[in-house]
């Protein structure tokens, strides 16, 4: 994607917990910059803020806003006993995962608190009365089929024509990873409302055409 704006991050992105590849992050940065004249951006699944820094930094550059949707209780794979559980993010008082404190610290360190609007709620709850048209939606929430479908159905309808839908962790081969993100990617293409723009590693980028 040819964008003239240089990648300018306000902190060392490697210090932020998360699973986003830097090449995918740079693609998100450029996408958020390009979509900025269409409306605010929105991400589902902020975790500790790695993707938020990429998206939010581009929004700051373009004087735009990013809504960051996450209940901050962790996805299925973040729970105790699961593969990606992080003991540092477990709240002993509530006996629940809580990534929001880490997320807020990241936003403060990145000086993005004036451009990133955290929405601490499940995706479907945040979308219940949503009316703001969006230039970009990035989906990287729960990877169960139910969670991915909920995110797609909740937010894709708010993308304006010409706006973008980006979906993370797309693995066409089931041996490489879970299939839920790939399923909603295919669903978006089959809807006739989106066209393929490009694939950057596991990041699928679509454009709304109607």
Q: How far apart are CA 104 and CA 8, in angstroms?
A: 20
Question: Residues 6 or more apart from 71 whose CB is under 8 A from it?
Answer: 120, 121, 122, 123
Residue 96, strand partner residues? 91
Could you say which of 5, 143, 158, 168 is catalytic? 143
Q: Is 143 a catalytic residue?
A: yes
Q: Are 141 and 45 in contact (CB under 8 A)?
A: yes
Question: Burial letters for 43-55: b for 16+ Cβ neighbours within 10 Å, e otherwise?
Answer: bbbbbbbbbbbbb
First and final CA of the chain: distance in angstroms? 21
In this structure, what token pair is assigned to residue 41? 């951006």
Residues identified as active-site = 143
């Amino acid at each position: 994607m040819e964008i003239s704006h240089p990648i300018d991050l306000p902190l060392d992105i490697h210090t932020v917990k998360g699973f986003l590849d830097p090449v995918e992050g740079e693609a998100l940065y450029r996408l958020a910059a390009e979509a900025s004249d269409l409306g605010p951006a929105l991400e589902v699944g902020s975790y500790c803020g790695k993707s938020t820094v990429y998206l939010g930094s581009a929004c700051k550059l373009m004087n735009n806003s990013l809504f960051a949707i996450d209940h901050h209780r962790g996805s299925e794979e973040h729970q105790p006993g699961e593969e990606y559980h992080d003991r540092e993010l477990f709240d002993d008082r509530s006996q629940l995962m809580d990534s929001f404190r880490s997320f807020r610290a990241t936003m403060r360190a990145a000086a993005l608190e004036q451009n990133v609007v955290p929405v601490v709620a499940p995706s479907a709850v945040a979308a219940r009365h949503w009316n703001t048209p969006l230039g970009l939606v990035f989906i990287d929430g729960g990877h169960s089929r139910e969670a991915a479908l909920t995110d797609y159905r909740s937010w894709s309808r708010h993308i304006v024509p010409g706006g973008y839908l980006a979906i993370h962790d797309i693995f066409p081969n089931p041996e490489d990873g879970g299939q839920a993100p790939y399923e909603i990617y295919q669903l978006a293409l089959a809807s006739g409302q989106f066209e393929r723009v490009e694939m950057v590693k596991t990041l699928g980028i679509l454009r709304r055409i109607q």
